[in-house]
Chains A and B, each alone.
Chain A
Amino acid sequence: MTRTTLRPDPPARAARGLARLSGWRLVTYVALIALGSIYLLPLLWMVATSLKTGPQAIASPPTLIPSPFVWENFPKALTQINFPLALRNSLLYAIPAVVGTVISCSLVAYGFARISWPGRDVVFVILLATMMLPSQVTFIPLYVIYARLGWIGTFLPLIVPAFLGNPFFIFLLRQFFRGIPDELSSAARIDGASELQILLRIILPLSIPALITVALFTFIDKWGDFFGPLVFLNNADLYPLSVAIQTFQSAHKTDWPLSMAASVVISAPLVVMYFLAQRKFIEGITLTGIKG
């Protein structure tokens, strides 16, 4: 696992380096601060616009600090997108999907990491290979299957697959499980514990950090998912926040304070989660190369 610890330099070299590099360091800092500000500005602008009046939002020259602060934008936007319903739908999708992913990926990863059975490594390569196929290849037949099952217009097409594992997270958990000393399992087996008991009582309690990473990434993925709900729900009463907010924006193209208020609302939970669990994000990405 990569950590951001820097090895301390020997003092003498550091002193020599300081004199030689201070110019470069200054340049680096200036570049980082300038770039950092540019990267931060769009999000600040989102929040600022969400608190402005209509005329203020389009005033020229633009100002960052709203005056007055129009907090009413939020209740207004939330009423217009029918927030309670959309939030309920987002949670009805994301929470079961998180639960299903964590349970199924733990089971499957255990089967690949801690039990040795003939053919295991070949099957694992197949699992990794499935990540190569673009989802476009399967979603049309999946739509047909779900339509025949009568699942279109319900949350089932979004939730059921989550209970059947996700190759990325199976891979992540497998790596983690393999790092746990084998002696712990052997000792439990001698005491007569079944494999399931070993998973539940020994492996999972030691894997909480990895499980949190899986849960976080799954929640973020499902909370923001747009394509799945758009195609498979096909019913405005079931649309989660992601689709509800898009529909609102395209119907009210010029009401920027309200569109930005809605965008702040859908982004805030994820941003808060990110600040609370930053290390998990960085570790998860570094470990698996998962992107956003």
Chain B
Amino acid sequence: MARAIAGDQAAYGELVTRYTALAHRTAYLLGAGADAGDVVQEAFVKAYRKLGTFRPEADFKPWLLKIVANETKNLHRGRRRRNLMELKMATITETVDHDDPGTLVDDSRAKLLKAVQSLNEHDRQVVTCRYLLDLSEAETAQTLNLAKGTVKSRLSRALAKLRPMLEEVAHER
């Protein structure tokens, strides 16, 4: 990291390689869709130019993801495309555990995904960062450029909206 900040491009290349998958997943899940690759590339170029503003003691991950999130937002702005790219489930596997509500069958997962995507943009973004990208609340706040309190309140509002849907699915089983 220190070498990359000092302008060592080989060191920066290593950072890019290490963080590409996470940056790509972030762009994709935040709605970049097929443009996720371009977003990631542009984000790394911008990040390089902004390395001078990176505090060495800070955490690189949320600093980078904030740039990725911004690039994704710019993509939408440029195209006047407000709606999210449709996300879908990975290959269908039949795993059922009726005793553990945390593990859903595929159909239920698909419904939950649909419910997440139907949340308003603000709530969906915090849910995406916090749970789908498994970021901490602090990292979520930094990535989305929000206050921690805002993240907390949006998360609890989103969970409250998603709960009835899950209860309905559980009831149907």
Q: Do A and B come from one complex?
A: no
